[in-house]
Amino acid sequence: MRRVCAVSVVAGLILITGCATAGTDSPTVRGSEDSKNTIRPRLGAAQLIIKFSSAVTDPSQAEFVDTLSKDIGVSLAYLRPMSGGAHVFIVKGAPDSRQLQDISRRLSKRSDVIYAEPDRIMRHQ
């Protein structure tokens, strides 16, 4: 009986230790499963949330991201999809909040963009 309890305690500790350390590695974020380009976002990196119209089928494609970057004059990198059909992009070059707002406005003027906004942490007041 004691042996069974000891084995259960040891197994439980191993499980808890594994769960506690599972999130400590910084995973590589991929735009899509078949994407060869991987991006690790910097802490505090400027990011945009963009929702495209149905005319854009896959905004993670490198050609589309390059075209989008050239059109708005800022280098973008695809980060990940979001729920609700939006996508997160990193703005390279660390723009300040005013520049990021200007970039969002330029993106919103495109016919294939439903909305574009800076990715910010929102807190319920």
3-class SS shares of the chain: helix, strand, coil, % to 5: 40, 20, 40
**What is the pLDDT, as a whole number, of residue 123?**
87
| Cα-based angle 115, 121, 122 (whole degrees, multiple of 5) | 80
> What's the total number of domains in the chain?
1
Would the pLDDT of 62 be above 70?
A: yes
pTM of the prediction? 0.63
| Domain-embedded: residue 84 | yes
Share of the chain above pLDDT 70, in %: 65
CA distance linking residue 68 with residue 53, whole number of Å: 14
Residue 48 covered by a domain: yes
Cα–Cα dist 107/11, whole Å: 53
CATH number at residue 81: 3.30.70
